[in-house]
Homo-oligomer: A and B are copies of this chain.
Amino acid sequence: MSAHPRTSSGYWYAGDGRPPALQVLEALRAYRTAESAMRLRTRESMGMGEKDVLALRYLLEADRAGTPMSPRDLASKLGISSASTTTLLDRLSRSGHVARRPHPTDRRALVIVATEEADCEVRSTLGAMHERMMSAARRLSAEEAATVTAFLHAMAEAVEAADETQLREDVAQCRHPGPDHGAA
């Protein structure tokens, strides 16, 4: 790694030979990769599917916020059907991570609560990581934090701007009439 070569306009291509913008996107991609690898490890260490882990996170979050969730809430958060939610809760309940409690006022409904063990499990798997992240974030000065925050918001906006209608149109445009590519 070279020292920071300076020009009159400040740092230039610090770190390696590539433009800073590329380095930034590369770093973002590296983070994404690391994150999904971590999620895979978490899933495997807990012996659960992806949705199950996500569900547990939502449930614990809701528990802490004092606003417990119903199966329906969970279904819409996870983007799965009511039927899948039932079987998901069966799984999580069988494994001891959640419990179905009667809703205090609505006798049709349920309140899903995460068990103590689920809380402990998630805390021990994700808590240390979160602490490391927070500690890194705290090392930023206020100005740096503002820069990073603004950048991340810009990135979120950039990926949100591609809405489905747009996507569908763009894809359709690729169908030049020549070869066959339809279903068999």
A interface with B by C-beta (< 8 Å)? 9-15, 20-28, 30-35, 37-38, 40-42, 44-46, 79, 94-97, 115, 117, 120-121, 124-125, 128-129, 132-134, 136-149, 151-164, 167-168, 170-171, 173-176, 179-184
- The copy count of this chain in the complex is 2
Contact A133 B162 (CB under 8 A): no
Contact A171 B121 (CB under 8 A): yes
Describe A's contact surface by its main secondary structure.
helix
Contact B129 A159 (CB under 8 A): yes
- Min CB gap A1→B, angstroms: 12
By a CB distance below 8 angstroms, the chain B residues around A32 are 35
Most chain B CB atoms below 10 A, which of A22, A32, A115, A136: A136
